[in-house]
Amino acid sequence: MEAVCAEEVWKSYGKTVALQGSSLTVEQGEILALLGANGSGKTTLTKTLVTLLVKDSGRIHILGYDIDSNPTQVRQLVGYVGQDTERSAYARLTVVENLMFFGRLRNMRPAEIRSRIEKLSYHFEFNEHLNKQFMHLSGGQKQTVVIMRALLHDPTVLFLDEPTKGLDPVISCRIRNYLKAYIKQEGKSLLLTSHMMNEVEEMADRVALIRKGKVLFTERPNTMKAALGPQDMIEIRSEGLPEATIQKILNLPSVVKQLHRKPEWTCFGVSDFFEGTSEILRVLKEDGLRLPIRHREITLEDAFIHHVGGLDESLER
């Protein structure tokens, strides 16, 4: 069953076209990551799906409800985390007071709210912060509260716009683990935007790529990576690596292609890691070069750059 279905969605801000006929689906029990460079339309599409923005045209259904005809029902079914963390809670209220307030806005009973707070604070190891004023929390703690707020009413569909941005690795891991279990074990759905490729690769069942307001395609992460061909990369420190040596390496039987060249490292895709390493080391020795060399597997970031690298776009690491 489709939890989210968007078809040919258009949205403009005055003369600026933010969405150009974007379409995507999120299945029940699925985590879909929406990837794109800054300004590509990720946030606009997300806010439109959760009824915070009004589309110009197109069709959107959330769990079968048309968002134009049934916005109230849709809002009861979804949870949303945006990028405006500071404005997502009341500064002078404690964490508990904030969550009680927002729970009551959703017509939750006080006992039900307290039960959810207890459960979420346990999973996020947040109990010691519950009675602190929101204004006195760190940035990462505030973001955790906003995520708890989105999960408070046990939504069927979650929309998270860069939810772990600014969080330390421990908290990020804790939240990712909870979200994966929440989606898979309870049959929920999640649309996630993120600039963190490792987060997307760890969590997403499928990835949708958006550029200039248009969703170009949706694929599984492994399918995106497979499009590059070689799944192993040998990287050589670029400083001191002559172009003539690069051409020799490219002519080796096990070297399939030269992948995107980073400032510090020159990357080669190899069909066989062991043969490729041996042959590349031989060429370096013949040319009298002693340069740092390393191996890594193809990542989702490599796949992203492969698909949009010629469009002068990139993602943060």
pLDDT at residue 165 greater than cutoff 60: yes
Q: Say how far apart CA 84 and CA 70 lie, in whole Å.
A: 26
pLDDT at residue 280 greater than cutoff 50: yes
Name the fold adopted by 229-297.
Alpha-Beta Plaits (3.30.70)
Tell me the average pLDDT across 212-236: 89
Class of domain 2-225: alpha beta
pLDDT band at 231; cut points 50, 70, 90:
confident
In tens, the pLDDT along 171-198 reads: 888 899 999 999 999 999 999 998 888 8
Taking alpha carbons only, the member of 210, 256, 264, 221 closest to residue 22 is: 210
pLDDT cut 70: percent of the chain above it: 96
In tens, the pLDDT along 84-106 reads: 888 899 999 999 999 999 999 99
Q: Say how far apart CA 101 and CA 317 lie, in whole Å.
A: 37
Distances 247 to 243, 259, 261, 266, 280 between C-alpha atoms, Å? 6, 13, 14, 12, 11
Best mean pLDDT range from 112-116, 166-170, 230-234, 257-261? 112-116
Higher pLDDT, 279 or 309: 279
In tens, the pLDDT along 27-70 reads: 999 999 999 888 899 999 999 999 999 999 999 999 999 999 99
> How much is the mean pLDDT over the chain?
91
Q: Say how far apart CA 147 and CA 80 lie, in whole Å.
A: 8
For CATH 3.30.70.270, the residue range(s) in the chain are 229-297
In tens, the pLDDT along 135-144 reads: 999 988 999 9
Residue 230's pLDDT is what?
82
Residue 225's pLDDT is what?
84
pLDDT cut 90: percent of the chain above it: 75
pLDDT at residue 316 greater than cutoff 80: no
pLDDT at residue 313 greater than cutoff 60: no
Tell me the average pLDDT across 199-226: 91
Distances 139 to 146, 149, 166, 265 between C-alpha atoms, Å? 11, 15, 7, 34
